Amino acid sequence: MTGELSPIDKAKFVAAKRAADFVENGMRVGLGTGSTAAWLVRCLGERVREEGLTFRGVPTSTRTAELARDVGIEVVTLDEARWLDVTIDGADEFDAELNLIKGGGGALLQEKIVATASDRMIVIADAAKEVETLGAFPLPVEVIPFGRTASQALIEEALVSMDVMGRQTTLRMNGDTPYVTDEGNHILDLHLSRIGNARQLAMVLNQIPGVVENGLFIDICDQVVVGYGDGRVEVRDINAGTVSEGRLDFAEDDNLFRDLGD
């Protein structure tokens, strides 16, 4: 099956496969949301079945929870786990300081809560997610439905004084109706092109009434596992200042992800 994957999917696969090695018996592990995180969940499920790995997973969305249960991972809530050893999740963008934009999958609120309730956050991504400056990917902002248009107007007003290149905001849709998060909220996507001061923008956005959380993850990520389409994988540790490289060989008959639709 892996022989049929696109280079980007191969890159996601090797990043997920390498990151799965960080999980040890007895750990409490935050499980991210999105296509790359779904590969991780399948890889961990394989370790559960083949190695007898035992750990408790805290999913960041209902769809991650369903997939985790399907592959045999014990699922618990964050309240039950209380604190996590590690969270492993994808990202829509990351920069050299491992600051992130997340929320393309619509789960940014749970993702940020889980990540910050962890001793360590590891991001898994294909090499295309690395950027010099954040902002090319639209920045998700979760808002409550009540007064959403007022919140959107306040966000647009605040962007005038921010160091950004674009200021267009759009309501994320699911067909003909607004997209609804697991918490019953809506998402505004901010098309900024470039974010000059991500830390400042994150603070300003969260002060706006109606805003629940934004998709800027600043000083949260500790390591990034970068996958490449040729099987190379790179682990960067922002705290230790180290970079390690390796390679994962594909098994052409690997059917680990044959049912994965994400």
By 3-state DSSP, what share of the chain in percent is helix, strand and coil, each rounded to 5? Answer: 30, 25, 45
Known binding residue 2? Answer is no
User: What is the CATH topology of the domain spanning 139-212?
Assistant: Alpha-Beta Plaits (3.30.70)
Specify the pLDDT at position 251. Answer: 65
Residue 60 marked ligand-binding: no
**pLDDT score recorded for residue 254:** 56
Tell me if residue 111 is catalytic.
yes
Of the candidates 4, 24, 50, 111, the residue annotated as catalytic is 111
Q: Please name the fold of domain 2-130+219-247.
A: Rossmann fold (3.40.50)
pLDDT digits (tens, 9 = 90+) for 96-116: 999 999 999 999 999 999 999
Question: DSSP code of 138?
Answer: P
Contacts of residue 47, Cβ cutoff 8 Å, sequence gap at least 6: 20, 23, 53
Query: Is 112 marked within a binding site?
Result: no
pLDDT value of residue 148: 98
Confirm if 139 and 202 have CB atoms less than 8 A apart: no
Q: Please state the pTM of the whole predicted model.
A: 0.94
Residues of the chain with CATH 3.40.50.1360: 2-130+219-247
Domain with CATH 3.30.70.260 in the chain: 139-212
Q: Which residues in the chain show pLDDT less than 70?
A: 1-3, 250-262
Predicted confidence at residue 5, as pLDDT, reads 87
Give residue-wise pLDDT tens across range 169-182.
999 999 999 999 99
Q: Is 106 annotated to bind ligand? A: no
Give the pLDDT score at 11.
96
